[in-house]
């Protein structure tokens, strides 16, 4: 499996050779077809193994917020650079053949969309955020440095796997994630804290949101809200 992953990452599905995979892994080439049926079967098995690892990581950290998922996803992409390159090869030749393991991958991404939807329901993400688009944005943030390492080199002068660059990218991911979560978490918390503060003698009572809305409607209509 490791030898196949390296070969598919280097040459893509079309260019990969089962003979090379067999020599790298020290087995007879016929064993590949005995175990996996075909080169496509081996490719599907490599993808399935990676999806299983990612799914296991998601299931083991159900409490992770959007920011943590970004940071851990970037770390996983750095560790699985060969898988990222397999997907790049697919993108280059995608129009020529049917996408392999399509249903398995769709289910994997749907689980991530469902997770973002639950985060919205619990107030951890803005209610107006579209979970499907948000997943695509998060995927872009997690893998971009590996997709275009030349851009990272030109802008920062560093390799995307350089610890210094990785530290800077993680800080950026945390900043983005924090800003995205702030509208629904911090503002609501601050409002509750402010409303619960004891008032000093003579200090006017803070209006509730409904009282404020009633006052605004009264101004527009010319009628006092307490009339």
Q: For 54-104, what is each residue's pLDDT tens digit?
A: 888 888 877 789 999 999 999 999 998 999 999 999 998 865 668 888 898
Q: State which of 58-67, 106-115, 119-128, 150-159 shows the largest mean pLDDT.
A: 150-159
Q: Is the pLDDT of residue 149 over 50?
A: yes
Higher pLDDT, 198 or 189: 198
* DSSP annotation of 96: G
128 CB burial (10 A radius; 0-12, 13-18, 19+): exposed
Domain regions of the chain by residue span: 52-192
Higher pLDDT, 225 or 107: 107
- pLDDT per position as a tens digit, 153-172: 999 999 999 999 999 999 99
Structure tokens at 93: 């030749």
114 CB burial (10 A radius; 0-12, 13-18, 19+): exposed
Q: Kindly report the average pLDDT of the chain as a whole number.
A: 83
Contacts of 85-91 with CB under 8 Å at 24 or more apart are 85/9, 85/10, 86/5, 86/8, 86/9, 86/12, 86/13, 86/46, 86/47, 88/147, 89/8, 89/9, 89/11, 89/12, 89/13, 89/14, 90/12, 90/13
Residues found in the chain: 227
Q: What angle do CA 161, 115, 176 make, to 5 degrees?
A: 45
The pLDDT, as a whole number, for residue 56 is 86
Superfamily of structural domain 52-192? Tetracycline Repressor, domain 2 (1.10.357.10)
Q: State which of 88-102, 117-131, 142-156, 187-201 shows the largest mean pLDDT.
A: 142-156
DSSP-based three-state secondary structure for 150:
helix
The pLDDT, as a whole number, for residue 223 is 45
């Amino acid at each position: 499996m490791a030898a196949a992953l390296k070969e598919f990452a280097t040459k893509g599905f079309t260019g990969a050779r089962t003979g090379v995979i067999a020599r790298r892994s020290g087995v007879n080439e016929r064993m590949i077809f005995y175990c996996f049926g075909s080169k496509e079967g081996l490719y599907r098995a490599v993808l399935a193994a990676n999806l299983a690892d990612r799914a296991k990581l998601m299931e083991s950290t159900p409490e992770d917020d959007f920011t943590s998922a970004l940071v851990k996803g970037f770390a996983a992409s750095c560790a699985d650079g060969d898988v990222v390159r397999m997907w790049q090869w697919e993108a280059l030749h995608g129009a020529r053949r049917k996408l392999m393991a399509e249903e398995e991958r769709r289910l994997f991404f749907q689980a991530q969309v469902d997770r973002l939807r639950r985060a919205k329901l619990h107030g951890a993400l803005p209610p107006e955020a579209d979970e499907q688009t948000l997943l695509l944005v998060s995927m872009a943030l997690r893998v971009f440095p590996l997709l275009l390492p030349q851009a990272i080199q030109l802008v920062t002068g560093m390799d995307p796997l350089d610890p210094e660059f990785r530290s800077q990218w993680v800080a950026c991911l945390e900043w983005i994630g924090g800003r995205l979560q702030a509208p629904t978490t911090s503002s609501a918390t601050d409002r509750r804290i402010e409303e619960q503060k004891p008032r000093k003698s003579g200090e006017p009572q803070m209006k509730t949101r409904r009282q404020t809305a009633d006052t605004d409607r009264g101004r527009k209509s010319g009628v006092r809200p307490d009339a």
